[in-house]
Structures are given as structure tokens and as C-alpha cells.
Amino acid sequence: MTPMTVDLSDMDVLPDAFRQPIYINLDQFDGFPSARAALMETFRGHNALVLSGDIHAAFITDHGAAREITGPAVSSDTAREMLHALVATNPALENKEAILKALDDMDIDAKIIACNRNCVGMDTSAVIHHADVEHHGYTMIELEAEHTMVTLHTFPFRYATQNLYEKISELDRLVISKKFVFEREG
């Protein structure tokens, strides 16, 4: 449900048609804004918590009427890896190496958060508190009467396909954990 928009207007290596704020995936609720708005209206006043995933990225989002926790990819490609594959296989793009280099240098997470807050004409009704399109991981959620605590445990993509059973003592060094606490309303 999180609006996934990114402003590419400053990427000189892209053709002009791509140099604008864009929705990353219109198969999600970004392609169905009326349905998302109607769903949010049904959540209003109910202290709703939305658990989502299967978009190969992690988000912590406040929609006003609901809070959303989007779990990251465990071992499938991350959104960043999928974006690289789209560029590499797109026959309309001539300077793929330069575009891939620009993507490597770009902080896509920061661009998604910034566009979510500032892009004119895009859905800015939700506030993204955290975005991560390049790490694998898992999410732990603790529900208490007064609050909900979310802990994202993430790790770099290069470890997603490795057998780490023999390196169990190294996992603390590999995993990055971030905590988010949502106070219950009402």
C-alpha cells in the first residue's frame, strides 16, 4: 500500500521521457488510488496495522488511518536488483552501463522518501518513515496493549544465498537491526 514513487528528473543519463517523478510499480495500490483511499477510510478510527510484503523491499509507513509494515525480501531479488535487471534488459535504453552506474551511486531509499513527501502530482498522503530496497531480511513484530514494536533485521544481498550455518557466530556482525515503536491511539 505504500506509495512507491521516485523522482528521476536529475538523472542526466536517462532519456527525457524517464526524467520525471514516476511510480515504480502500478500493479500495487499506486495503480488503484481510489481503492486505496476507500480502504484507508474503512480503517479510520480502528488503530489498524497493515502487514505487507512480496515487493522485495522494506517500508515503515504511516497512512494516517493505518500503519503499514512491509517486510523485506528474504532471499529473492531485492527491488534494487530488479531495477538493475529491468535496465539491463530494456532495448529502449542505449547507454545501459552509464545508467547502471548512476543507479549504483543513487540512494534510492532517500529518493523514494523525498518524492513521497515532495513530488507534485504524486500520492503524498502517507509518510514513509523507513525505506530499504537493497537489503534482504525479516521482520519481528511485538504487539502490546500500549504500543507496537517493529524490528527489521536486514543483511546485504550477497549473504542471502549463502549457507551461513557454519558462520553462525558472525551473524551479529552481518545483520543490521532497526527498531520502530508505534504508540496505540485511543
CB 47 within 8 A of CB 186: yes
Query: Which pLDDT score is estimated for 186?
Result: 62
pLDDT digits (tens, 9 = 90+) for 98-151: 999 998 899 999 999 999 888 887 877 889 999 999 898 999 999 998 999 999
> Is 46 within the bounds of a domain?
yes
Residues contacting 15, CB < 8 A, separation 6+: 92, 93
Q: Cell numbers 522518501 label which residue?
A: 113
> Is 118 within the bounds of a domain?
yes
Query: Which pLDDT score is estimated for 41?
Result: 94
pLDDT digits (tens, 9 = 90+) for 63-102: 989 999 999 988 888 888 888 888 888 888 888 999 999 9
CA distance 136 to 77: 8
Pairing state of beta strands 5-7 and 21-23? antiparallel
Query: Which pLDDT score is estimated for 168?
Result: 72
> Is 157 within the bounds of a domain?
no
> Is 72 within the bounds of a domain?
yes
The pTM (predicted TM-score) of the whole model is 0.86
> Is 92 within the bounds of a domain?
yes
CA distance 20 to 29: 20
Provide the domain count of the chain.
1
Where does residue 105 rank: exposed (0-12), middle (13-18), buried (19+ CB within 10 A)? exposed
CB 64 within 8 A of CB 37: no
> Is 171 within the bounds of a domain?
no
> Is 29 within the bounds of a domain?
yes
Q: Cell numbers 495503480 label which residue?
A: 31
> Is 121 within the bounds of a domain?
yes
